[in-house]
Amino acid sequence: MPQNRNHQFLCINLDRYQFGIEVGKVNEIICPKGSTEPGRGALSSENRLCNEAADFKIVRLDELLLQRREISAPEERLVVVEYEGDKIGLVVDAAREILRVSDEQITPVGHDSRDLNADFLEAEIVEEDKVIYIISMERLLQEIKVG
Please report, for the chain, the start and end positions of each structural domain, with discontinuous segments joined by +. Answer: 6-146
In which element (H, E) is residue 77 found? Answer: strand 77-83
pLDDT at residue 57 above 90?
Answer: no
For 140, other C-beta atoms within 10 Å of its C-beta total: 25
Instruction: Express each pLDDT in 1-17 by its tens digit.
Output: 456 789 999 999 998 99
- Please say if the pLDDT value at position 137 is more than 50: yes
What is the average pLDDT across 108-112?
Answer: 80
Taking residue 61's Cβ as centre, other Cβ atoms within 10 Å add up to: 21
Query: Coil, strand, or helix at residue 145?
Result: helix
Report the pLDDT value the prediction gives residue 67, as an integer from 0 to 100. Answer: 78
DSSP 5: P
